[in-house]
Structure 1
Amino acid sequence: MRLTLAAVGRLKAGAERDLLQRYVQRIAGAGKPVGLGPLTMHEIPESGRKTARERRREEGQALLAKRAGDACLICLDERGTALSSAAFAQFIASLRDRGTPEAVFALGGPDGHCESVRTQADRTIALGPMTLPHGLARVVLAEQLYRVLTILAGHPYHRG
């Protein structure tokens, strides 16, 4: 099953981008044995519209366009359900095992998600109750996806 992160905004060069690339590379190597990956990144330009509502709508349309066919759309939102790493691994494994071709993780812009992204999402998850900068949220998701692969492979990276 392919993994895609569609995120609003551009991640500038620096520590967050470097760490994200490190996890993308790890996922590419660790994913094949468990039938997952690679992690593909899609950066959606931030909207230049005047109101937050218009920005959310425009960015939401671009995020929804990254979902193709039978892909599972997973909305990352603070109102979502926070999962343990083990529960997240079970969820991803269940998608893979039922033949889902792709999991698309949608990360909204500074104004959040529009209602259409939330309603069309197959699942809404939170990375935790705290608000994270978007670059760090990408890194946290990538690390958790790598952790999922190691859990499914029985690798000692996850000791919880």
Structure 2
Amino acid sequence: MEKLRDELYEGMAGNGITGAAADEIWEKLQGFASFGFPESHSVSFAYIVYASSWLKYHWPTEFLCGLLNAQPMGFYSPNSLVQDAQRHGVVVLGPDINRSQYDCTVEPLEADPADIATYYGMKWRRGRGPVGDPLRPASGLRMGLRYVRNLGDAEITRIEAAR
């Protein structure tokens, strides 16, 4: 950026921008240079945010399952993700030696359609998604064996093979 400073000030002066106004523009450009990115990147990022938000809202159990199975990602801890999902009506089932796989899974669930979770004014049928969506069979997230502390890959493989 420093290489462009003189050229920028000359151009601004040629357009009647001098003194404090030119200095303010320079400061803002320096700040933007630290974190700015191309429009194509921002469009791509916006699309990912939109798609993720849509999935989280309409298919919260499946969305949580995907996030937990993609860990570690470095944004939020698995515990934070689970707590947020529970506030949004996701039923989280603990690890089960007879049912859990290595990764988390989505499994059918008996749930009352009238059992509604409300969070920040939004309503979700527990295990079924948002109240405004068509009623669908309930599902819960079964925690994977990889989330059991001190249970390694070798032990998980033996458990799965023994079933």
Q: TM-score, normalised by structure 2?
A: 0.26
Higher helix share: 2
Q: TM-score, normalised by structure 1?
A: 0.27
Higher strand share: 1
